[in-house]
A and B are shown apart, each in its own frame.
Chain A
């Protein structure tokens, strides 16, 4: 006999378990005793499916997944809190952070240096930030929402190495959590992406295709010349 058994309600949700038992009726006050045949009825199956969804719906882990828990999910992982991107535009590298709501970056902790040996970077000019004063760290300049900076660059031996920059930054969540300094080596993407298959992407193939189309037409004309249509006699 199978008994679907509810655990007792405990604060944030319910514990749900299904146990296989031999003989006897369910002993719990919330126990449902059902013979195997009726368990297969569509309505019963729907009810079981709904019950199985309960722990998820109530945001509780089922009993077999429970262990020591933390509130870590209240916070974003660092790369989601501070999303970094970089691109090359003309003679400048553009570095941009998209900062999640409720998170901030310290101006003082931002650093952008060249990583490739043939790359020389200028000093990043950071925009004015928001002044944040607290009793524990004093007055600091911070950035929220988004930050963009452009750094002039020159290459001593262009093309010998892939262009790489090293970006360092550090930030916190307003809710009371600070991430250690983050360092990322970034390959800045090249400005606007070249048009796929267009213009100078693969010059000889494009020319050959155009010539082929023309040649096809010419062949058609050549074959048709001096030829009369064999129209059926009226």
Chain B
């Protein structure tokens, strides 16, 4: 073979290897590069549901009826919610570490006195350690019944359609155990008055449940709008 032939053969071999290298790189990027492309710098947490658009997640559904459950009271005795059957319920989920929950308690104490006559029962469900709850309930002289639980109380929240609970939240039922509304966040007097007025109208047969729910939703929206304007 002539020197020229050798030159050509070597060049062709090198060009072929280069083509192979290019194909390999193009279709199979280096593992380091792939990992960096998948996870943007600084946002390396494993994806959580909230990384998705809020609209993509089907919100857990709040049941139409109060689910049946039993939790321990402050003396450790298992107490079923059916104990208050026949009354409208206002079930407040709270915890001692939560400032807005603590802020709400004086209002709930006042209400529990007022509502006895109206056949409305306030129940507190503390998702917390029993000893802490007992101390705080004693210190605050909470007069309405308090139930305590950890995972079992969270299971009740899940059954109420609150899958990842934040506190406080309050469930309102009519006297037949139908859930009228679920309020997330600290309650204030105007909101409680609005909701209980509708609950009372349902109990008296003056309002259909669906109608009362709509009235509450629109009333609460108006209240938060007027608060936003006021602030």
Using CB atoms and an 8 Å cutoff, list the residues of chain A in contact with chain B.
10-12, 66-72, 74-75, 77-80, 84-87, 94, 96, 134-137, 170, 172-173, 175-180, 184-194, 196-197, 201-202, 204-206, 208-216, 218-219, 222-223, 225
In the bound complex, what is the Cα–Cα distance between A191 and B39 (angstroms)?
12
**Given known contacts A75-B184, A192-B41, A176 and B21 CB-to-CB distance under 8 angstroms:** no
A189 engages B42 (CB within 8 Å) = yes
B85 at the interface (CB under 8 A from A): no
Closest chain A CB from B95 CB (angstroms): 7
Q: Give a binary string over B21-59; 1 marks a CB under 8 Å from any A CB, 0 the rest.
A: 110110001101100110111111110111100100001
* Chain B interface residue number, banded: 35 or more
B99 engages A205 (CB within 8 Å) = no
The residue that A209 contacts in the complex, of B18, B181, B184, with Cβ under 8 A, is B18
The residue that A212 contacts in the complex, of B14, B179, B213, with Cβ under 8 A, is B14
A188 engages B100 (CB within 8 Å) = no
**Given known contacts A178-B99, A222-B11, A87 and B183 CB-to-CB distance under 8 angstroms:** no
B64 at the interface (CB under 8 A from A): yes
B72 at the interface (CB under 8 A from A): no
B97 engages A212 (CB within 8 Å) = no
In the bound complex, what is the Cα–Cα distance between A94 and B44 (angstroms)?
12
**What are 19 pairs between A and B in contact, CB < 8 Å?**
A66-B210, A68-B63, A70-B161, A71-B217, A72-B59, A96-B42, A136-B99, A137-B99, A172-B98, A178-B167, A180-B167, A196-B36, A202-B30, A205-B22, A209-B22, A209-B25, A211-B18, A215-B11, A216-B15
Closest chain B CB from A213 CB (angstroms): 7
B221 at the interface (CB under 8 A from A): yes
Closest chain B CB from A136 CB (angstroms): 4
In the bound complex, what is the Cα–Cα distance between A136 and B87 (angstroms)?
31
B224 at the interface (CB under 8 A from A): yes
Closest residue on chain B to residue A202 by CB atoms: B30
B179 engages A68 (CB within 8 Å) = yes
**Given known contacts A96-B42, A178-B100, A178-B101, A70 and B62 CB-to-CB distance under 8 angstroms:** yes
Q: In the complex, what residues of B have CB within 8 A of residue A179's CB? A: 166
A74 engages B184 (CB within 8 Å) = yes
B12 at the interface (CB under 8 A from A): yes
Closest residue on chain A to residue B128 by CB atoms: A180
B41 engages A137 (CB within 8 Å) = no
Q: In the complex, what residues of B have CB within 8 A of residue A225's CB? A: 4
A74 engages B22 (CB within 8 Å) = no
In the bound complex, what is the Cα–Cα distance between A170 and B18 (angstroms)?
55
In the bound complex, what is the Cα–Cα distance between A12 and B48 (angstroms)?
33
**Given known contacts A68-B179, A177-B167, A178-B99, A187 and B4 CB-to-CB distance under 8 angstroms:** no
B8 at the interface (CB under 8 A from A): yes
- In chain B, positions 57-93 with a C-beta closer than 8 Å to chain A are 59, 61-64
Given A78-B50, A96-B42, A178-B100, 15 more pairs with CB closer than 8 A? A66-B213, A69-B62, A69-B213, A77-B50, A79-B50, A86-B44, A170-B97, A178-B167, A178-B168, A189-B36, A191-B41, A201-B32, A212-B16, A212-B19, A212-B22
Q: In the complex, what residues of B have CB within 8 A of residue A12's CB? A: 214, 217-218, 221
Q: In the complex, what residues of B have CB within 8 A of residue A69's CB? A: 62, 181-182, 213, 216-217
